[in-house]
């Protein structure tokens, strides 16, 4: 199980109050009056390479940075509160309670100041009066973990998705001749022709769901996919299977398929007589005798390079 949604409370430190010395102004100027307080610590979210979901937020949902210290007599300043760095996995989206995206943390080492520490109170060292300190910002937000993947494999049960994932990545996740062996998304980095990218295996898409958001909830992890490999193992009906799959995915969210490169794979072609099946529009593959695997790898790389090129053009 991947923990991919948690509600978390953040609070920055309060500013420390300035010291108010009751000595006379002339005396304060000589020996020093009330010093300023310290600033409150910020709360900063930071992408960590050591996390791959939000499970640690199950243990702790409240993060409070240190308060600034009070100012002291003789113009001694209070210490600043320490900032609190909260590590999050790459791919975490921060969303407010109304559902608005605050920030998408999807870059290595990216930082985001979520709550600013309160400013310090001013002591009455030079002036006749002191100024009050400010409280630290506080926010309650939802963290969504959305797996950073470039290529996703999706399809109905038992079509050979995990076999294909293992073949491409060299991993050995459980493959079985019964449906629903894969319970949650699994992803791994791979490198082909010096191009590194991340590929993701997914649980089977369920048909005729009553509540798609519950039963096919993993589909949200296709949000970042640039390429989707749809897999069928049904030589007689792959066309209708592919359109059913696309319909299911886009009814979860139109953004999941729009503008994305989709490859249509017919798997297990070792079992069929290709002379009697019209393979137009699909890529025949077999994870058993490796048919089509090299062609598939080349096509993935070509498509990724094309997508990168377009993204670069757009950012110029």
Least CB distance to ligand GDP at residue 180 (A): 7
Least CB distance to ligand GDP at residue 87 (A): 32
Q: Which is nearer to ligand GDP, 174 or 311 (CB)?
A: 174
Q: Which tokens is 297 given?
A: 């790898």
Least CB distance to ligand GDP at residue 103 (A): 34
# residues near Mg ion by CB under 5 A: 3
Beta-carbon contacts of residue 80 (< 8 Å; ≥ 6 apart): 38, 39, 40, 41, 68, 69, 117, 120
Q: Which is nearer to Mg ion, 21 or 182 (CB)?
A: 182
Q: Which tokens is 127 given?
A: 């002036």
Q: Which tokens is 143 given?
A: 């963290």
Q: Which tokens is 265 given?
A: 């794979």
Does 267 contact Mg ion by CB under 5 A? no
Does 262 contact ligand GDP by CB under 6 A? no
Q: Which is nearer to ligand GDP, 40 or 284 (CB)?
A: 284
List helix spans (H) across 59-122. Answer: none
Stretch that binds ligand GDP, among 58-66, 70-78, 107-115, 263-271 (CB under 6 A): 263-271
Does 182 contact Mg ion by CB under 5 A? yes
What DSSP element (H or E) covers 6?
strand 5-11
CA distance readout (Å), 44 to 3, 86, 116, 185, 294: 21, 6, 9, 28, 44
Least CB distance to ligand GDP at residue 225 (A): 17
Query: How far is it, in rounded angstroms, from Cα 13 to Cα 81?
Result: 6
Does 51 contact ligand GDP by CB under 6 A? no
Site map 161..180 versus ligand GDP, x via CB under 6 A: xxx-----------xxx---
Beta-carbon contacts of residue 182 (< 8 Å; ≥ 6 apart): 161, 162, 173, 174, 201, 202, 203, 204
- What is the chain's length? 316
Q: Which of 107, 138, 193, 270 binds ligand GDP (CB under 6 A)?
A: 270
Stretch that binds Mg ion, among 54-62, 112-120, 180-188, 290-298 (CB under 5 A): 180-188
Least CB distance to ligand GDP at residue 196 (A): 24
Q: Which is nearer to ligand GDP, 141 or 151 (CB)?
A: 151
CA distance readout (Å), 23 to 17, 157, 254: 18, 80, 69
Q: Which of 19, 130, 162, 198 binds Mg ion (CB under 5 A)?
A: 162
Count the neighbouring beta carbons within 10 Å of the beta carbon of residue 78.
25
Q: Which is nearer to Mg ion, 82 or 169 (CB)?
A: 169
List helix spans (H) across 156-292. Answer: 161-169, 212-215, 238-252
Q: Residues interacting with Mg ion, by CB under 5 A?
A: 161-162, 182
Q: Residues interacting with ligand GDP, by CB under 6 A?
A: 155, 157-163, 175-177, 181-182, 204, 267-268, 270-271, 286-288
């Amino acid at each position: 199980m991947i923990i991919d949604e948690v509600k978390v409370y953040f609070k920055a430190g309060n500013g420390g109050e300035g010291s108010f010395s009751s000595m006379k102004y002339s005396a304060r100027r000589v020996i020093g009056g009330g010093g300023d307080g310290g600033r409150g610590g910020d709360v900063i979210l930071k992408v960590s390479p050591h996390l791959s979901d939000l499970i640690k937020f199950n243990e702790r949902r409240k993060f409070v940075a240190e308060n600034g210290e009070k100012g002291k007599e003789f113009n001694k300043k209070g210490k600043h509160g320490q900032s609190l760095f909260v590590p999050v996995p790459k791919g975490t989206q921060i969303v407010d309670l109304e559902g608005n995206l605050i920030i998408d943390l999807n870059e290595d080492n990216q930082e985001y100041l979520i709550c600013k520490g309160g400013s310090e109170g001013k002591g009455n060292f030079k002036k006749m009066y002191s100024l009050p300190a400010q409280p630290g910002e506080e926010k309650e937000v939802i963290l969504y973990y959305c797996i950073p993947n470039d290529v996703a494999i999706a399809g109905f049960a038992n079509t050979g998705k995990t076999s294909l994932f293992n073949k491409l990545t060299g991993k050995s996740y459980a493959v079985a001749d019964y449906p629903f062996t894969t319970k949650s998304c699994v992803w791994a980095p791979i490198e082909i022709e010096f191009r590194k990218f991340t590929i993701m295996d997914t649980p089977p898409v369920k048909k005729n769901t009553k509540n798609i958001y519950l039963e096919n909830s993993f589909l949200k992890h296709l949000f970042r996919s640039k390429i989707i490999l749809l897999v069928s193992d049904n030589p007689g009906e792959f066309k209708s299977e592919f359109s059913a799959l696309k319909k299911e995915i886009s009814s979860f969210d139109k953004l999941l398929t729009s503008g994305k490169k989709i490859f249509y794979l017919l798997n297990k072609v070792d079992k069929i007589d290709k002379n009697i099946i019209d393979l137009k529009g699909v890529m025949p593959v077999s994870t058993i005798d490796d048919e089509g695997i090299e062609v598939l790898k080349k096509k993935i790389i070509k498509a990724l390079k094309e997508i990168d090129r377009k993204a670069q053009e757009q950012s110029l």
